[in-house]
Amino acid sequence: MDYLNRTVVRAAIGLLISTATITVSATDVDVRILIDVSGSMKANDPHNLRIPAVRLVAELMPQGATAGIWAFSEQVEELIPAATVDHEWKAAATEATLKIHSRGQFTDIEAVLSTATRDWDLADGVADSRHVILLTDGMVDVSKQAADSAASRKRILGPGLARLKSYGAQLHTISLSANSDRELMTTLAQSTDGWAEEVEDSTALQRVFLHMFEQAASPDSVPLVDNRFEVDKSISEMTLLVFRGQSNEPLQLVSPSGVVIEEQSRPSNINWRAESGYDLVSVANPETGAWQINTDPDPDNRVLIVTDLKLELDALPTAVLTDELLSIGARITERGEQLVRQDFLELLKSELHLTGAQGQQANVYPIDFDTAQARFFTERLIDWPSGEYELLIKVDGGTFQREQRAKMRIHGAPLTFTSTLADDGQSFNFVARAEQGLVELGSLVGFVLVARPDGSTDIFDLPDFSNGEVNLSVTAPLNGVYRIEPRVIGRSTSGRVLNFKSTALSTEITAGISIETPAEVVDTAEPAPAPINWVQSGTVVLIGNVVIAAILGSVWLLLGRRRRIPSNQVVLQ
């Protein structure tokens, strides 16, 4: 019974920890932007489109966030130091981007990762939302000696990556050109729950940087549908991002009162920047009501806002696994405080719009309102095909709308389970295989519930997964169908706690001992898997829960936390 208690307690603790959620506001965000300026960029970014792409992110960065920009080749140059984002910071960042060039000789990724995050070594604790956006078109290249570059790459993936993970940082990587070290970039992103993009053409950089910015900063926005959007009275500033269509027609805005606004005839409360490929229009104290634009519709056009009435989401993973349970939580805040007025909140409607990478018709799912916690919450089992998706979370209150976007990749199941009849006909072999790139093998623990044909139940601990595969031989002396249900918990490579529950397997034994059936009972039905006897298991779980409170703190540290979670931002479901 001791081994059973141990396994069930670990599973119960894993389930409790996995329900903790983090809500991040703009002032919690810390973004470091790292730009490759090596000589190869002359060919891969001949028009230096890195400049308008970085300017776009700098201009959209929310007020109160922390951000900085670095350029790197054989040396690291601080274009603008990490500081609180305000109007002065944005103006300085726009000017600093003019220093982005393509004259460097080497590509020292190790140095820029260390330099740009050095102040984190001196920080008190772990911030809620730290992000690094890294753009490069090459491989780790620190000298003319190949061994030096190989050693640097090894350090990046070893102590360098461990250091950034200890700070709770997410690395978002952009590989520009087929010559970049995509394996390195993907590993950095995947291991930190970041986002990785591969770009063949520098003309896509602006859109890619937009998506990276949304992953890092979770900006407030309002829906832009059929070139129309609504501005409510709580919005003090709006920034309209419009990508130029093929017609290249000059952008026009039509205000709620019918005034047509153009770049050359804009009022004093409007700042208009026309960059290569897009227009960025900021309006202070915008008129309340329905606005309209005249350009070609584009899925990447945005209306970002500064408002006291915000939609705040629980942190979402960038990569999830088939059969994983995805939790989506949202709340409405006003001046930083969560709204709890039931009469107001119950009038709101919240939805999840899920769209595949090819932009096909979105699947729409309701997000229920939790009256007890005055927030929206839903859990969905990941049963969508593997691939890349955009999640759009909307809240509609009639008089106001809010939305936020996030990118997410769905991977196939990292654990697979099989059961096969052994040669002796009176036992079966259970095999579990894990994919090392998605889960930490050393973190996996679990057990297998086996229901015998006579209704009794056995529970077996799984061996160590260190080699990526475990084998379990189970004696099965009775004829009939054995039902096998594996349970495994562990961590993803990014440190997220995972709970795996496979569909039940079954194996039929015919060379064993037949179960006698009383003469008066005639059963001609096909053999069916016996149900699990959960009385025994339930008793063990109850016993295990008694000790959870005493050991939860130490286990929390053991499993590792990717971010510090302020106590006033944790909600246990």
> How does pLDDT run along the chain (573 residues), one tens digit per residue?
344 444 443 444 343 333 344 455 566 899 999 999 999 999 999 999 999 999 999 999 998 999 999 999 999 999 999 999 999 999 999 999 999 999 999 999 999 999 999 999 887 655 568 999 999 998 999 999 999 999 999 999 999 999 999 999 999 999 998 889 999 999 999 999 999 999 988 989 999 999 999 999 999 999 999 999 999 999 999 999 999 877 778 999 999 999 999 999 899 999 999 998 999 999 999 999 999 999 889 999 999 999 999 999 998 999 888 878 889 999 999 998 999 888 888 889 999 999 987 666 789 999 999 988 999 999 988 888 889 999 999 999 888 999 999 999 998 888 889 999 999 999 999 999 998 778 889 999 999 999 999 999 999 999 999 889 999 999 999 999 999 999 999 988 877 888 877 778 999 999 888 876 544 444 544 454 444 443 344 433 333 333 333 333 333 333 333 333 232 222 222
557 falls within a domain: no
375 and 523, same domain (yes or no) = no
CA angle in degrees (0–180, nearest 5) for 345-348-354:
130
pLDDT score at 496? 80
Please give the tally of structural domains in the chain.
Answer: 4
Euclidean distance between CA atoms 426 and 71, whole angstroms: 66
Handedness of CA 79, 84, 89, 94 (dihedral sign): positive
Domain co-membership, 209 together with 232: no
Q: What is the pLDDT of residue 564?
A: 32
The verdict on residue 571 lying in a domain is no
Q: Do 403 and 336 share a structural domain?
A: yes
User: What are the C-alpha distances in Å from 10 to residues 17, 117, 327, 430?
Assistant: 11, 35, 21, 22
Looking at the structure, tell me whether residues 46 and 186 fall in a common domain: yes
> Looking at residue 567, what is its pLDDT?
28
Domain boundary among 389, 411, 433: 411
Residues 443 and 502 placed together within one structural domain of the fold? yes
Do 288 and 435 fall within a single domain? Answer: no
Q: Are residues 366 and 396 in the same domain?
A: yes
Contacts of 114 (CB under 8 A, 6+ apart): 160
Backbone angles phi, psi at 11, to 5 degrees: -65, -40
Return the H-helix or E-strand segment holding 540.
Answer: helix 534-559
Q: What is the pLDDT of residue 233?
A: 95
- 197 and 125 in one domain? yes
The pLDDT value recorded for residue 550 is: 37
- Flag whether 8 is in a domain: no
CATH number, domain with residue 210: 3.40.50.410
Q: Is residue 570 part of a domain?
A: no
407 and 421, same structural domain? no
pLDDT of residue 7: 43
Length of the chain: 573
Instruction: Mark which of 387, 411, 435 sits at the end of a domain.
Output: 411
- Tell me how far apart the alpha carbons of residues 121 and 128 are, in angstroms, rounded to a whole number: 15
- 135's CB contacts (< 8 A; 6+ apart) are 34, 35, 36, 50, 173, 174, 176, 205
| In a shared domain, residues 106 and 212 | yes
Residue 560, in any domain of the structure: no
Run of H or E residues at 534: helix 534-559
Model pLDDT, residue 126:
55
| Within-domain flag for 281 | yes
Residue 396: CATH number of its domain: 2.60.40.10
pLDDT at res. 552: 32
Same domain? 155 vs 71: yes
Q: So what's the pLDDT on residue 86?
A: 94
d(CA 23, CA 97): 31
- The answer on 240 and 197 residing in a single domain is no
Q: Where in the sequence is the domain holding 183, given as residue range(s)? A: 26-217
How many whole angstroms separate alpha carbon 442 and alpha carbon 436?
A: 10
- Domain-located, residue 558: no
Look at residues 269, 300, 331 and tell me which one is the last residue of a structural domain.
300
Whether 116 maps to a domain, the answer reads yes
CB 217 within 8 A of CB 56: no
Q: What is the pLDDT of residue 337?
A: 92
Q: What pLDDT is stored for residue 71 in this prediction?
A: 98
Q: What is the DSSP string of 210-260?
A: HHHHHHHH---B---BTTEEEE-TTEEEEEEEEE--TT-PPP-EE-TT--E
